[in-house]
Amino acid sequence: MLYNEPSPLEVKVISKRFGLPNSASLDTYLATDGYKAFQKALSMEPGQIVDEVKASNLRGRGGAGFPTGMKWSFVPRTSPKPKYIICNADESEPGTCKDRLLMEYDPHQMIEGMMIAARAVDSHAGYIYIRGEYRYLIEIMDRAIAEAYARNYLGKNILGSGFDFDLFTHSGAGAYECGEESALLDSIEGKRGIPRMKPPFPAVSGAWQSPTLLNNVETFSAVPAIIADGGAAFAALGTPKNGGTRLFCLSGHVNKPGVYELPMGFNLLRMIDEVGGGVRGGKKLKAVIPGGSSCPVLKASECDLAMDYDTVAKAGSMLGSGGVVIMDEDTCLVKAALRIMKFYAHESCGWCIPCREGTAWLKKSLQRFHDGFGRESDIDMIGELSKNMLGRTFCALGDAAAMPTISFVEKFRDEFEAHLNGKPCPYEHASELVTA
């Protein structure tokens, strides 16, 4: 069974093998130009590879949207230490469910992207850090790696080129925090997954204090197309400084939820109406979280915008990891804020006080408020508490909890007020918020 019906509006670059018979197998990959980009990369100077990725305007698909080519250029290629390539496959952000498809349907594409990165920075070992709940994907990745070793696409002297690269999977234990790159590094080293002080950044001192190039699954998966067709061709698919296509995960109150590959800059309202088939049950759109649960919510009136990093940032939110959560007119946004805060309170690693205590207090306050025991002054208190967390935590999980909450209070104050004075939730019998 295919993940979801493709849309005719999709531009399939990295999802082009989804739905092919045995799409995950090496034979299918080779029959559809697989590993040709790596062979091309072998004939290029490492600096040329980095320049091509820079020219593509590819930005990291894990959340922050950092320019990928620039990150690659930070790795000191001539360092005498070993250099590592790490793929972040922790995918835990509520609303985001794209990396799992890339691994399930096209694992070799991601492996090839990692190999090209290895060639660019002179690395000979890589790890794929997969979230613990993705057990079945670890098996798929292990099978793909074994196939690649058997045909000498991995290992020593790959295809007679003299280039060596070993690749391993590493399972997380199901902690959202271990998707944060420095906590991931501690976890991969066998320690408790808590974030590290930055700088130094992983490119300079990462796994085992060695230079480490760490990117998201989707980021690595885009690399073969960039090398095969040239960075300029990839860049031209998107908007200035936002190259290429990306996988958008449409979830919530939409007729055709699913994962769709669309050019960067695709209009959000068109995405909901023309790709997602419109709001479920013909209801009115109330709000959208454009990039996963850590992004500030957009009101329906703010949704006529191009989905690229810069335009969404200008609108006061973030493109994040591509998790587009659609909420209709019957959604209680106090409950949505509460649901999100329950997640962050549960996932806070407890290392620093503003996040550990702040998320727990916010969860309790939002719960009490939603249950009808809130006071008018609590509305400001919830907003102020969130603002006090912002920028004061050790890693960005604190911000990820604070930012959506601030936006819910500021943009939907009337919904908080509608819960005051012991009134029952006005939406209690309406539809539930569905994510992913």
Catalog residues that contact ligand SF4 under the rule CB under 6 A.
177, 195, 348-352, 355-356, 393-395, 397-398
Q: Please report how close the Cβ of residue 299 comes to ligand FMN at its closest, in angstroms.
A: 26
Residues 6+ apart with CB under 8 A from 326: 250, 251, 252, 253, 254, 272, 276, 279, 285, 288
Q: Should residue 52 be labelled a site residue for ligand FMN when binding is judged by CB under 6 A?
A: no
Among 23, 57, 88, 169, binds ligand FMN (CB under 6 A): 88
Q: What single letter denotes the amino acid at residue 275?
A: V
Question: Virtual CA dihedral for 184, 186, 189, 192, nearest 10 degrees?
Answer: -110
Of 214 and 325, which has the nearer Cβ to ligand FMN?
214
Of 88 and 311, which has the nearer Cβ to ligand FMN?
88
Q: Should residue 147 be labelled a site residue for ligand FMN when binding is judged by CB under 6 A?
A: no
The whole-angstrom separation of Cα 344 and Cα 187 is 19
Q: Please report how close the Cβ of residue 180 comes to ligand SF4 at its closest, in angstroms.
A: 7
Planar angle of CA 91, 93, 97, nearest 5 degrees:
55
The interface region with ligand FMN, picked from 100-108, 230-238, 392-400, 421-429 by CB under 6 A, is 392-400
Q: Please report how close the Cβ of residue 287 comes to ligand SF4 at its closest, in angstroms.
A: 26
The whole-angstrom separation of Cα 161 and Cα 171 is 31
Place of tokens 């109330």: 286
DSSP state of 197: P
Which listed option, ligand SF4, ligand FMN, none, makes contact with residue 64 (CB within 5 to 8 Å by class)? ligand FMN
Of 91 and 147, which has the nearer Cβ to ligand SF4?
91
Q: Please report how close the Cβ of residue 345 comes to ligand SF4 at its closest, in angstroms.
A: 10
Q: Please report how close the Cβ of residue 158 comes to ligand SF4 at its closest, in angstroms.
A: 38
Which listed option, ligand FMN, ligand SF4, none, makes contact with residue 356 (CB within 5 to 8 Å by class)? ligand SF4
Give the strand pairing for 285-289 and 298-299. Answer: antiparallel
DSSP state of 5: P
φ, ψ of residue 10 in degrees (nearest 5)? -70, 150
Q: Please report how close the Cβ of residue 166 comes to ligand FMN at its closest, in angstroms.
A: 21
Among 396, 418, 425, 434, binds ligand FMN (CB under 6 A): 396
| Residue 417: its H or E element | helix 413-417
Tokens standing for 431? 């539809």
The interface region with ligand FMN, picked from 58-66, 117-125, 325-333, 351-359 by CB under 6 A, is 58-66
For the chain, the residue count is 436
Among 366, 397, 406, 433, binds ligand FMN (CB under 6 A): 397
Size of the site for ligand FMN (CB under 6 A): 24
Tokens standing for 288? 């959208």
Cα 278 vs. chain centroid, distance in angstroms?
Answer: 24
Q: Should residue 308 be labelled a site residue for ligand FMN when binding is judged by CB under 6 A?
A: no
Q: Should residue 213 be labelled a site residue for ligand FMN when binding is judged by CB under 6 A?
A: no
The whole-angstrom separation of Cα 121 and Cα 83 is 8
Tokens standing for 156? 């020593």
Question: Virtual CA dihedral for 329, 333, 335, 339, nearest 10 degrees?
Answer: 110
Of 66 and 208, which has the nearer Cβ to ligand FMN?
66
The whole-angstrom separation of Cα 273 and Cα 279 is 7
Mapped onto helix, strand or coil, the DSSP state of residue 223 is: helix
Which listed option, ligand SF4, ligand FMN, none, makes contact with residue 92 (CB within 5 to 8 Å by class)? ligand FMN
φ, ψ of residue 97 in degrees (nearest 5)? -150, 45
Of 206 and 276, which has the nearer Cβ to ligand FMN?
206
- Give the closest residue to 228 by CA, choosing from 17, 15, 44: 44
Which listed option, ligand FMN, ligand SF4, none, makes contact with residue 241 (CB within 5 to 8 Å by class)? none
Applying the rule CB under 6 A, the residues between 158 and 197 that interact with ligand FMN are: 176-177, 179-181
Q: Please report how close the Cβ of residue 62 comes to ligand SF4 at its closest, in angstroms.
A: 16
Q: Should residue 64 be labelled a site residue for ligand FMN when binding is judged by CB under 6 A?
A: yes
Are the CB atoms for 202 and 185 separated by under 8 Å? yes
The whole-angstrom separation of Cα 176 and Cα 293 is 12
Q: Please report how close the Cβ of residue 252 comes to ligand FMN at its closest, in angstroms.
A: 20
Q: Please report how close the Cβ of residue 86 comes to ligand FMN at its closest, in angstroms.
A: 9
Q: Should residue 319 be labelled a site residue for ligand FMN when binding is judged by CB under 6 A?
A: no
Query: Using CB under 6 A as the criterion, which residues of the chain lie in contact with ligand FMN when the complex forms?
Result: 60-64, 66, 88, 90-93, 176-177, 179-181, 214-216, 219, 395-397, 400
